[in-house]
Amino acid sequence: MKGFKRYFQIIAGIIISIVFLYLAFRRVDITETLRTIARVKWGYLILAFTATFVGIFVRSFRWRIILNQGLPLRNFIEATFVGQFINNVLPFRMGDFAQGYFLSVKGNISKSTALSTVILERLTDIIPPSLILVFGSFFVFLPDQISRVNVIFVILGLFLFVYSVVRFQKKLVGLFDKLLPNSNFGKRLHGLINNFYAGLGFLKDKKRLALVVLLTALLWSIYGSSAYCCLLAFDIHIGYLSALMVVAVVSISVTIPSSPGYVGTWEFFSILALSMFKVGKSIALSFALLYHLVGWLPVTLMGFIIVLKSGVSFSRLENQEENQ
């Protein structure tokens, strides 16, 4: 059954990526795209690669603040690289589970504790791109696929979810206990829920909350800087704030299950984002391909090296989705 599930995930991911690749490459002048790539200004790409590494360090530090267990920052950095690496080589965001598992091994904490804070971290990162798209929609026309109403709906839904989870903690825990009494899965889920609530403790600590907010703002400014450098590498001069809009749109691509590394979805949403600023599709595809490489290559290489040196088997990391 597990083998069939994994086979289905891989096939489904490949199909989704093929569809989005077709949409991305449709009606593109490949010759112009290749010429544009050949003229790229590599100095700006080096800055973009550097920003990618800095972003990993900031993300890891923020994760450490959320978990609040005094573990060395190095553990969080390594786990973040490993999680990104697994996401880049396996489909359906399996790296999120691997990231939590790797930290639990290196930090000697429970898997549910580590995974619960990974979930919190992912929820935190939904807010910035949503806000960017809402505010940006007053200055540029969003593509038909993304509307201001839909983005506002996502934000309200997220806040309603968090409020409900916090407000009805005891009732939710009691409900899960009744639905899944005395089962191994129920016990694991119960532990995950309890640790999720423990992780929400940073919302009640003003200093930790302020630090998480500041680090999140810094992290997304770094993402914007990376995209801005990639845009300048192709002489696309639309400004830093517009680059943030591009990042916000592209961030949608990582939420869609696809083949490893968000192949296809990343390219499609990059082109879609640049269409807001009247950038031609062939040039936009050139940007999308190298912008994707900037986000994929460094974390994949570092994550692979860390896994090799850690002694943690790749198969154990790969199978964490089924073990949670």
**pLDDT tens-digit series, residues 278-317:** 999 999 999 999 999 999 999 999 999 999 888 776 666 6
8 A C-beta contact, residue 15 and residue 260: no
> What letter would DSSP give residue 141?
P
* Domain layout of the chain by residue ranges: 2-323
Higher-scoring residue by pLDDT: 97, 2: 97
Q: Provide the 10 A C-beta neighbour count for residue 141.
A: 8
Whole-Å CA distances, 15 to 138, 248, 258, 260, 323 = 35, 24, 8, 12, 26
The length of the chain, given as a count of residues: 324
CA 82/CA 116 separation, integer angstroms: 17
Q: Provide the 10 A C-beta neighbour count for residue 319.
A: 16
Percentage helix, strand, coil, to 5, in the chain?
A: 80, 0, 20
**Which residues, at least 6 apart from 127, have a Cβ–Cβ distance to it below 8 Å?**
155, 158, 216
Q: 43-72: per-residue pLDDT in tens? A: 999 999 999 999 999 999 999 999 888 899
Q: Using alpha carbons, select from 306, 322, 311, 264 the residue that is nearest to residue 84.
A: 306
Joined together, the tokens standing for residue 99 give 């990231």
The mean-pLDDT minimum among 11-25, 61-75, 106-120, 192-206 falls in 192-206
Q: What is residue 151's predicted lDDT score, i.e. its pLDDT?
A: 77
* pTM, two decimal places: 0.86
CA 266/CA 263 separation, integer angstroms: 6
- Look at residue 242 and give its three-state secondary structure: helix
Joined together, the tokens standing for residue 141 give 């026309």
